[in-house]
Amino acid sequence: MSIDSTLQDNNRVGASGSEERPGFFSKPRIIAKPGFNRWLVPPAALAIHLCIGMAYGFSVFWLPLSKAIGITSSVTCSADMTFFQQVFSSSCDWKISMLGWTYTLFFVFLGCSAAIWGTWLEKVGPRKAGFVSTLCWCGGLVISTLGIYTHQIWLLWIGSGVIGGIGLGLGYISPVSTLIRWFPDKRGMATGMAIMGFGGGAMVGAPLANMLMNHFASADGVGVWQSFLVMAGIYFVFMMCGTLGYRIPPIGWKPKGWVEPESSKSQGLVTKRHVHVSVACRTPQFWLAWLVLCLNVTAGIGILGMASPLLQEVFAGKLLGNTLSYSELNAAQLGEIAAIAAGFTGLLSLFNIGGRFFWASFSDKIGRKATFATFFLVGIVLYATIPWIGHLGSIVLFALAFCVVISMYGGGFATIPAYLADLFGTQMVGAIHGRLLTAWAAAGVLGPVLVNYLREYQLSIGVAQSQVYDFTLYILSGLLVLGFFCNLMIRPVAEKNYMTEAEITAAGAMYKVNPNAVLEWDANPASRPLTAVAWAAVGLPLLWGIWVTVQQTAALFG
């Protein structure tokens, strides 16, 4: 589709010149009025991200679901039953490997939906996109409830994996361009606040799911379908509150008294102009940014997925104060180090969340290009030295190194939307970000496959379990070297790629912008109580999740 035809479609909104009131979910309906407090928008985004972020925590359901028929132990399917027959069987329990396909579907459909419907989101606005995300995510949970109740795993895959995955994609990108426009002075911090919620969703949702399953469990069931149904209701309320809380600023709005700097700290990468999504995706800057995100995420996600076994195999008996190798530990000792490793995983989750806010905010100070350069340079050093730290036997240094690495993994997700806004402008950044998230889908396959298969290969040639990750970490360090040079090659977008003033004006017609609109204001003081309530509504659950995680993490240093 050409730029002109897209703009013509956009201009149909209000083209008749009538004064008819826009629809409840339409973009013109949510243009903020003078005095609106922009700090009401981040908690709206957090409300959605904290809910859909539970996708990271779905593994809490796998063990109970693997005993849904047997209750106390799994009922194994007969050896002659095919995979297709197991999918439709209601007489034997599901394998965890089958349940794991839900997790895979989550992120495949997240990337695909964000890429496919990113342009639609920019056209209709965050409220409508947030509403569709709410229906897909919560509706998917309800369909999954039916699948669990009738013991049909294909309904779980379709409900949560496919439909829920589409909700993930739309919910993930829905606030990006909105927050960037509300915070032109703090782009990184604004996106970091929202995307931090996605990383924290499992910290809130997993303990909640455990509480619900313990409450509903009985001699007749493991309590999972009831937990799904309750969580669907809770999430629907939170996500709808977030959806209805979205507002967009008039075109050209800026905080009162803020003057856009003439020079940039990002080596001239910050543009005041705009590139259309269809053009942006054909530029070398887009594909270099794609590689930057993919390589940064590949290194982080592979380790994140293997954090628990990695700590156990590298340190083994040292976690308990002895010198036994992993293969020499008895069942009780293996259980003890598994609990310690769970604390390590929780610690990484905290740094994943904190890194999203810290690094994205820090990028406002030093620029996005310098921030990613920091990710790669520090990551190269850490990945290359972690094997030495492991052989040294220092659990604290080992944990600290991985915490820094994972903070930069999360920081990459939170910083990349602001990087795209710097390169391509804010007009179509949500759609551009949606297409760039295909890098996440690619990394989600590449990282775990690389780590898992290299580990198996090392074991097959007789490498000790305490050393099976050394070569893998050196490979990941090499990938970060490649990422560093990709980031170094990013230059400002060529002049020919920018939208003309006429195209920008035409694209703005969908807003029904009043030429006399106020484009600069301070927040109305009367909005402060509502703002405090909004932040408490999302902040208190997040703090509760952090507290639970800190308690679990204490075992690592106990």
* pLDDT tens, position by position, 544-557: 988 888 887 776 66
pLDDT at 360: 93
Other residues' Cβ atoms within 10 Å of the Cβ of residue 135: 17
Same-domain check for residues 202 and 247 = yes
List of residues 6+ apart from 547 with CB closer than 8 A:
none
On whether residue 558 sits in a domain, the answer given is yes
Same-domain check for residues 303 and 350 = yes
The amino acid that residue 517 corresponds to is: A
Say how far apart CA 107 and CA 105 lie, in whole Å.
Answer: 6
Say how far apart CA 221 and CA 149 lie, in whole Å.
Answer: 10
Average pLDDT over residues 20-27: 77
Chain segment 344-372, per-residue pLDDT in tens: 877 888 898 899 999 999 999 999 999 99
On whether residue 6 sits in a domain, the answer given is no
pLDDT at 20: 55
**Threshold 0.75, pTM exceeds:** yes
On whether residue 550 sits in a domain, the answer given is yes
Q: Tell me the pLDDT band of 508, cut-offs 50, 70 and 90.
A: low
pLDDT at 262: 64
Q: How far is CA 91 from CA 62, 77, 81, 97, 216, in A?
A: 18, 8, 11, 18, 22
pLDDT at 128: 95
The structural domain count of the chain equals 2
Chain segment 442-469, per-residue pLDDT in tens: 887 788 778 777 777 887 888 877 787 8
On whether residue 131 sits in a domain, the answer given is yes
Per the CB < 8 A criterion, the answer to whether 161 and 61 are in contact is no
Work out the burial of residue 368: count CB atoms within 10 Å of its CB; fewer than 13 is exposed, 13-18 middle, 19 or more buried.
buried
Other residues' Cβ atoms within 10 Å of the Cβ of residue 12: 10
Per the CB < 8 A criterion, the answer to whether 159 and 147 are in contact is yes
Of the ranges 55-59, 270-274, 528-532, the best mean pLDDT one? 528-532
Q: What is the mean pLDDT of the chain?
A: 86
Same-domain check for residues 541 and 552 = yes
List of residues 6+ apart from 22 with CB closer than 8 A:
13, 14, 28, 29, 512
SS3 529: helix
The proportion of the chain whose per-residue pLDDT surpasses 90, expressed as a percent, equals 44
On whether residue 290 sits in a domain, the answer given is yes
Chain segment 115-154, per-residue pLDDT in tens: 999 889 988 999 999 999 999 999 999 999 999 999 999 9
Same-domain check for residues 431 and 383 = yes
- What is the CATH number for 547? 1.20.1250.20
Say how far apart CA 209 and CA 217 lie, in whole Å.
Answer: 12
Of the ranges 87-101, 284-298, 544-558, the best mean pLDDT one? 284-298
On whether residue 23 sits in a domain, the answer given is no
pLDDT at 300: 87
CA 58 to chain centre: 14
> Is residue 271 pLDDT above 70, yes or no?
yes
> Is residue 177 pLDDT above 90, yes or no?
no
Chain segment 178-202, per-residue pLDDT in tens: 998 899 888 899 888 888 888 888 8
Closest CA to 434 of 416, 450, 451: 416
DSSP annotation of 248 reads B
pLDDT at 103: 80
Same-domain check for residues 412 and 276 = yes
Q: Tell me the pLDDT band of 12, cut-offs 50, 70 and 90.
A: very low
Same-domain check for residues 207 and 275 = no
Same-domain check for residues 289 and 193 = no
Same-domain check for residues 456 and 431 = yes
Domain extent, residue 58, equals 37-75+87-252+524-558
Same-domain check for residues 174 and 314 = no
Say how far apart CA 522 and CA 540 lie, in whole Å.
Answer: 27
Same-domain check for residues 205 and 351 = no
On whether residue 17 sits in a domain, the answer given is no
> Is residue 313 pLDDT above 70, yes or no?
yes
Chain segment 474-506, per-residue pLDDT in tens: 999 999 999 999 999 999 999 899 888 777 666
Cβ density class 267-277: b for 16+ within 10 Å, e for less: eebbbebbbbb
CA 458 to chain centre: 31
